[in-house]
Chain A
Amino acid sequence: MTAEHLDGNTLAGPLGELFAVDVTTATGRCANCGLTGPIGSLHVYGPDPGLVGRCPGCEEVVLRLVRGPGRAWLDMRGTVTLRVDLPD
C-alpha cells in the first residue's frame, strides 16, 4: 500500500508560525514507544481538519496542530521531550 501520510517536513511551515527555531530538526521522543528521532520524520496526516504527526515506529499521535482564523492550537501530549540544538 502506498503511504497515505505526508512527509514530516510538511510541518516546517505551519510550526514555523509558532516557533523561532525549525522544530522539524529538533529531536522528539514518542511518549508511547520511546522512539527518538527528528520531528521531520513523523508521518503527517492532514492538513485538514488539522495536522496530525504520528510516530513512524508505533503510529501513535505525537503532535497535533490546528490552525483557525487568528489562532492556532498545538497539542504535544505524545512527545516526552523535544531536544532543540542551539548555539552555545
Chain B
Amino acid sequence: MGGFVSIISRGFHGRRRDEGDRLPPGQYLVEDFPVLSAGPTPRVPPERWEFAIDTEAGVTHRWTWPEFLALPQETPTVDIHCVTEWSKLDTSWEGVSLDTLLENVDTAADYALVHSYGGYTTNLPLEDLLDGKAWIVHRFGGEELQPQHGGPARLLVPHLYFWKSAKWVRGIRLLDDDRPGFWETAGYHNYGDPWREQRYEGD
C-alpha cells in the first residue's frame, strides 16, 4: 500500500523537488518575462544585421542574416536566472550553438567580449561559450524574438546571470586578456554564477 502510493505520487513530488533544486539561492520564480534595459531598444532590420567573430589575430568571420539562418539550428529548453532575482524555468529558444559558429575559427584566446547593437558589452571566459553551453538565438517560445527581448538575435548563456545573455548581439571579440563589459565595470560580478550568487563585485 505504502509502496503503491509512493509510486503514484512520485511524479508530482519529484517535479516539486526538481523545481526547488532548479532555483539558485536568492531567486524567485516568475511566469512572465520581465524586460530590463540600459538604453533605447535598437531596431535592426534583417537586411542590415550581421554577426561577426573577431579573433585575437585580427581575423574576422561574418554571417549575414540568411547565412546565419542556414546554419544548423538547435532548440534548447533552459532555465534562466536574472541578477534582479527572478528566474524562469523551461524557456524554449531556437538558434545556433556557439560551437557551430566557432567551429572553423582558429583561436587560442581565453576570453570573449560580446558586443551588441546599441553599444552594450559583456565579458566571459571563452570556455563558457563552448560545449553546448551557449547559443545565438532568434526565436523564443516558438515565435520570432521580439526587439524588447533582444531580437533579431541575442546571446543565450543560461548558466550565468542573464545580463551575460546580451540582447541585440552583433559580435564577439576573442581576446587574450579579460576585458570587463558594461555591467561588469559598474559594480556587477565579473563572472556571474547564479549558483554561487555572484551578483556584485566581491561576492
> Could you say which of B39, B40, B84, B187 contacts A73, with CB atoms under 8 Å apart?
B187
Kindly provide the distance from the CB of A46 to the nearest chain B CB, expressed in whole angstroms: 7
Q: Which listed residue (B39, B83, B84, B201) contacts A52, Cβ 8 A?
A: B39
Residue interface mask B64-103, A partner, CB < 8 A = 1? 0000000000000000000110000000000000000000
Q: A46-80 toward B: CB 8 Å interface, digit per residue (1/0)?
A: 10111010100001110010101101110100000
Cα A46 to Cα B183 with chains together (Å): 12
Contact indicator B39/A50 (Cβ below 8 Å): no
How many chain A residues have a CB neighbour from B under 8 Å? 21
Q: Chain A at the B interface: mostly helix, strand, loop or mixed?
A: strand
Q: Number of B residues contacting the other chain (C-beta, 8 Å)?
A: 18
Cα distance A8–B40 in the bound complex, in angstroms: 15
Q: Which residues of B contact A68 (CB under 8 A)?
A: 187, 199-200
Residues B40 and A4 in contact, CB atoms below 8 Å apart: yes
Interface presence of B27 (CB below 8 A): no
C-alpha spacing A61/B120, complex, angstroms: 10
Across the interface, do B84 and A49 meet the contact criterion of CB distance under 8 Å?
yes
- Does B40 lie within 8 Å of A5, measured CB to CB? yes
- Bound Cα distance from A45 to B120, whole angstroms: 13
Would you call B186 and A50 a contact (CB within 8 A)? yes
State the CA gap A66–B200 with chains docked (Å).
9
- A48 to B36, Cβ gap below 8 A? yes
- A75 close to B38 (CB less than 8 A): no
Q: Contact at A59–B163, with CB atoms within 8 Å?
A: no
Task: Report Cα–Cα, A27/B99, bound state, in Å.
Answer: 49
Ordered nearest first, which 6 A-B pairs have the shortest CB separation?
A73-B187, A66-B187, A68-B200, A52-B38, A48-B84, A64-B186
Interface residues of chain B, those whose CB is within 8 Å of chain A, are 36-41, 83-84, 119, 163, 183, 185-188, 199-201
Chain A residues at the B interface, C-beta cutoff of 8 Å: 4-5, 43, 45-46, 48-50, 52, 54, 59-61, 64, 66, 68-69, 71-73, 75
